[in-house]
Amino acid sequence: MASCCAPRPVSSLRQIEQCPVSGATGRRVDVQTVKALLTASALRRLRLVDHRFCPDPRCHVVYFGADGTTYARNDLRVPVWQKEPFGDRMVCYCFGESERGIRTELEASGHSAAVARIREHIAAGRCACELRNPQGRCCLGDVTAAVTRVTQAIDHAVRSGS
Ligand SMILES: [Zn+2]
């Protein structure tokens, strides 16, 4: 059945694995994720080609397509934490776990339950990372790393007496 929402993908284009701006190797992201996260005006430029996520924090490009199209931070509906400064970044887009929230927990009790909370949501089938997380994949690893980063930042602040 022909559907306006399922046209044939443009498959003749060569693979572009490196961000055209930073040169960083991008990980493939499902086009469904790209469509869900782009603003209305950015989505009007989209073509059905392979898209990749630029992981370089200094690069303003979030997605680049095999057709050479790039989408910058402000082309997305949400801030992309990899491209924002450390401290108050949202690292779990489904359940709103942020560096600030993790820090508050750590300072109050010495422990953050963010990872345990997310595991519980995953077990209950509540995650929608393929549509909410700009990387289109589970955020559990990112949240685990965020807890480590915030813990280290607090330890560092304690050691340097600030
Ligand atoms: Zn880039």
Verify that 106 and 147 share a domain, yes or no. Answer: yes
User: 88 C-alpha to center of ligand 1: Å?
Assistant: 22
Per-residue pLDDT of 19-66, as tens digits, reads 999 999 999 999 999 999 999 999 999 999 999 999 999 999 999 999
Are the C-beta atoms of residues 20 and 70 closer than 8 Å to each other? yes
User: 145 C-alpha to center of ligand 1: Å?
Assistant: 21
For helices 99-109 and 114-123, angle between their N-to-C axes, nearest 10 degrees: 120
Element housing 136 (H / E) = none
Please say whether the dihedral angle defined by the alpha carbons of residues 27, 22, 45 and 77, taken in this order, is positive or negative.
positive
Q: Final residue of a domain: which of 51, 75, 99?
A: 75
Q: Kindly tell me if the per-residue pLDDT of 2 is higher than 70.
A: no
User: 116 C-alpha to center of ligand 1: Å?
Assistant: 32
Q: Kindly tell me if the per-residue pLDDT of 13 is higher than 70.
A: no
Give pLDDT, residue 8.
61
What is the three-class DSSP state of 156?
Answer: helix
User: 19 C-alpha to center of ligand 1: Å?
Assistant: 5
Residues 6+ apart with CB under 8 A from 127: 94, 118, 121, 138
Going along 21-114, which residue ranges are E strands? 27-29, 51-53, 61-65, 70-72, 90-92, 97-98
CATH number at residue 35: 2.20.25
Q: Which residue range is the domain that position 120 belongs to?
A: 85-159
User: 154 C-alpha to center of ligand 1: Å?
Assistant: 30
Average predicted confidence (pLDDT) for the chain: 92
